[in-house]
Amino acid sequence: MKQLFKTLVVAVALLFGNTACSEEANKGYTLLVPAQPTSTQKIEVLEFFFYGCSHCFHLHRDLTAWEKTMPKDVELTFVPTIFRGSWEPMARTFYAMDALGQRTQLHDVLYKAWNVNNVDLSDEVKILDFVGAHGVDRAKFSAAYNSFTMQSKVTRAKQMIRSYGISGTPTLVVDGKYVITGLQPADTIRVLNEVIALARKAHPVEKAAKPKK
């Protein structure tokens, strides 16, 4: 009898667990288990992306528009995804231009180069020619591209891809636990806003400083 009871308990737990997962999936997101620590006091939004990904390219316009008006308590961070060795040059390119303060200048240009103009950006020489043609100092870019700091960032990106279980791009992760992927751009932004609202409820409200007497 006890064994039957235990079996029923396990069956019910599995049933409700699967139901919860289904409900989350139906809402356009899943929960990351285990949740990952965030690197900001704000609500963290990570975008795992690759410039050569057509789905990332299609989301890019909507996400760029959203970034310009995103809530002040939200911080957006881009994580270049490296699923294979041939993707690493673009990760280095992203971090190099970010270090030189030129992400805004080149982010859109790189997406178009890959997805519209079919530019070959498979190695450092081709990348240097490309960024140089867009007004970037080749020597400074090369130094950043090959720096020790760059290697650390690339290693960190690879670690995050494993820790977050990223299997496709684009993937958004909100507050270290809400995962959004596989949606059309408009739906991605809609679910992103809904999930941020959920994450906001879990964040402690900062108490206003009391005036000194």
Q: Are strands 178-181 and 171-174 parallel, antiparallel or unpaired?
A: antiparallel
In terms of C-beta density within 10 A (0-12 exposed, 13-18 middle, 19 or more buried), how is residue 56 classed?
A: buried
Tokens 């190099």 -> residue: 96
Domain boundaries, the chain: 43-202
Summarize pLDDT for 155-181 with one digit per residue, the tens.
999 999 999 999 999 999 999 999 999
24 pLDDT tier (thresholds 50, 70, 90): low
Helix or strand holding residue 58 (H, E): helix 54-69
DSSP-derived secondary structure letter, 86: G
Structure tokens at 32: 């990351």
Confidence of residue 209 (pLDDT cuts 50, 70, 90): very low
43-202: which CATH number, 1.10.357.10, 1.10.3720.10, 3.40.30.10, 3.30.1490.190? 3.40.30.10
Flag the least confident range among 65-69, 124-128, 145-149, 205-209.
205-209
* Residues sharing a CB contact under 8 Å with residue 71, sequence separation 6 or more, in sequence order: 43, 196
Task: Report the pLDDT value the prediction gives residue 104, as an integer from 0 to 100.
Answer: 86
Instruction: State the pLDDT confidence band at 27, using cuts at 50, 70 and 90.
Output: confident
The proportion of the chain whose per-residue pLDDT surpasses 90, expressed as a percent, equals 80
Which residue blocks in 86-211 are alpha helix, DSSP H?
88-99, 103-115, 124-133, 138-145, 148-163, 185-202
Q: Which of 188, 192, 189, 156 is nearest to 174 (CA)?
A: 192
Could you tell me the two tokens for 140? 């400074």
Confidence label for 40 from pLDDT (cuts 50, 70 and 90): very high
Of residues 192 and 2, more confidence is placed in 192
